[in-house]
Amino acid sequence: MSSGFASRDATIYNGSTDKSDSVASAKAFLQVYKVLMSPRCMNCHPAGDIPLQGDDSHLHTMSPKRGIDGHGLYAMKCANCHQPVNTPGAHKPPGNPKWGLPPANMKMVFQGKTARELALQIRDYNMNGHKNKEQLLEHARDTLVKAAWNMGEGRPAPPLTYTAFVKVWDEWINKGVFAPPNYDK
Amino acid sequence: MITLNINKKTYEVDVDPNTPLLWVLRDHLHLVGTKYGCGAAQCGACVVHLNGEAVRSCVTTVKRAAGRPVVTIEGLSADHDHPLQKAWIEMDVPQCGYCQAGQIMSAAVLLRENPNPSEEDIDNAMEGNLCRCGTYLRIKKAILLAAKYSKTATR
């Protein structure tokens, strides 16, 4: 198994064996993976340019498109329907001030990825929105990430509590960002 | 009291800040051109411009609109002479007419951001505006015609 951040940030985390634990790190990521692949997260990290919707992750009704900056196009911009907060009521748009997809030049796709693929992608500075170790740790505290646990009426939460997710996220990163093997290969 | 700027006029309304803008427009200000279709941001009949963006007023709270310019269908042009309005008449687009204010307001954002849209651009912009009468083909033709009107006007 390979480990560590892209070389640009090698000085941020020097792979000290005092903290590095490949087994614990990879095991932690398998828990992280469960959350990231749940609809509350994956729906806004689609493989295509239309967000996903619902617990079955169907294509978002009315086919809004990613656009260049991830915030939609013309009269179909995300914030036209998704307000800064959840709209009350079942089947109403959930909300967050930062609602949107990743931008077209950094799509950060979750859909269809194995655990290993996703771990390798997230730890890659050139594929993760240019986040170094500290920024990756901070990202779990981001308002839009937290919104997955404030999902609006009728939407099941991710499979871990937010507290449990942050614990395994931090563990994965702090113990060396190891990518789990592909168990079915 | 909440201060609103609607079609370049200032209004003071005494409503709960979480009231959807749609109801303030219709019930308090009697601007009834904007329609209620679903109340869930699913149909587009309620589209107005907030800071130039085509928001769905059925889910947009009046507090979000406070202090920001809002344009409704009534304020799109001074004399119903917006290129889209002219094209809509020329192409005889509406049947029952209920969705059409929202259609035009969405199309207006498209033409402002993309004065020469392709059919695919029109689809991308307008897919969120539903028409039960099925006037979609005429809507598309009218938008293309409005784009031509705008091009001619700027020469």
Per-residue pLDDT in tens (0 to 9) along chain B, 155 residues: 999 999 999 999 999 999 999 999 999 999 999 999 999 999 999 999 999 999 999 999 999 999 999 999 999 999 989 999 999 999 999 999 999 999 999 999 999 999 999 999 999 999 999 999 999 999 999 999 999 998 876 54
Show residues of chain A in contact with B126, CB under 8 Å.
75
- Return the pLDDT at B153: 66
Q: Are residues B143 and B96 in the same domain?
A: yes
Domain endpoint, select from B75, B100, B115: B75
CB B122 within 8 A of CB B142: no
The partner residue sitting opposite A62, judged by closest CB among B61, B107, B128, is: B128
Span A126-154, pLDDT tens digits: 999 999 999 999 999 999 999 999 989 99
CATH number of the CATH domain containing B8: 3.10.20.30
Q: What is the pLDDT of residues A64-96, one digit of tens each?
A: 999 999 999 999 999 999 999 999 999 999 999
Does residue A5 surpass a pLDDT of 80? no
Please tell me whether residues B95 and B31 are part of one structural domain. no
Do B12 and B30 lie in one domain? The reply is yes
- A75, A76, A92 ranked by CB distance to B59: nearest: A92
Task: For residue A73, give the nearest of B56, B107, B124 by CB distance.
Answer: B124
Model confidence at A106, in pLDDT bands (50, 70, 90)? very high
Q: What does the pLDDT read at residue B109?
A: 98
Number of structural domains found in chain B: 2
Residue B96, domain CATH: 1.10.150.120
Phi and psi angles of residue B69, each rounded to the nearest 5 degrees, phi first: -70, 130
| Whether the predicted pLDDT of A16 surpasses 50 | no
Q: Chain A interface, mutation test: which of B118, B124, B129, B140, most A Cβ atoms within 10 Å?
A: B124
Per-residue model confidence as pLDDT tens digits over A146-183: 999 998 999 999 999 999 999 999 999 999 999 999 87
pLDDT digits (tens, 9 = 90+) for A21-57: 999 999 999 999 999 999 999 999 999 999 999 999 9
Is residue B66 domain-shared with residue B44, that is, in the same domain? yes
Ramachandran class of A112: left when φ > 0, alpha when ψ lies in -120 to 50, beta otherwise: left
Rounded to an integer, what distance in angstroms lies between the CA atom of residue A112 and that of residue A117? 9
Please identify among residues 62-121 of chain A the ones whose CB lies closer than 8 Å to any CB of chain B: 62-65, 73-77, 79-81, 83-84, 87, 89, 91-93
Q: How far apart are CA B112 and CA B62, in angstroms?
A: 25
Question: What pLDDT band is residue A184 in, cutting at 50, 70 and 90?
Answer: low
Q: What pLDDT is attached to residue A19?
A: 76
Residues B46 and B88 in one domain: no
Do B69 and B7 belong together in one domain?
A: yes
Residues B115 and B50 in one domain: no
- Same domain flag for B64 and B106: no
Cβ–Cβ pairs < 8 A, chains A and B: 65
* Whether residue B14 is found in the same domain as residue B58: yes
Last residue of a domain, one of B55, B75, B95: B75
Contact (CB<8Å) A76/B124: yes
pLDDT of residue A7: 39
Residues B20 and B71 in one domain: yes
Identify the pLDDT of residue A4: 53
CB contact B19 to A (< 8 Å)? no
Flag if B128 and A75 touch (Cβ within 8 Å): yes
Distance CA A16, CA A77 (A): 45
Chain B residues touching A50 at Cβ < 8 A: none
Q: Does B105 touch chain A (CB under 8 A)?
A: yes
pLDDT of A18 above 90:
no
Q: Do residues B36 and B94 both lie within one domain?
A: no
The structure's pTM equals 0.90
Res A185 pLDDT > 80: no
Q: Are residues B42 and B89 in the same domain?
A: no
- Of B75, B104, B125, the residue that ends a domain is B75
Mean pLDDT of A5-28: 62
DSSP state of B61: B
| pLDDT for the residue numbered B93 | 98
Domain holding B13, by residue range, is 2-75
Contact A92/B40, CB-based, under 8 Å? yes
CB crowding A158-176: b at 16 or more within 10 Å, else e: bebebeebbbbbebbbbbb
Q: With beta carbons under 8 A apart, name residues in chain B contacting A93.
A: 40-41, 59
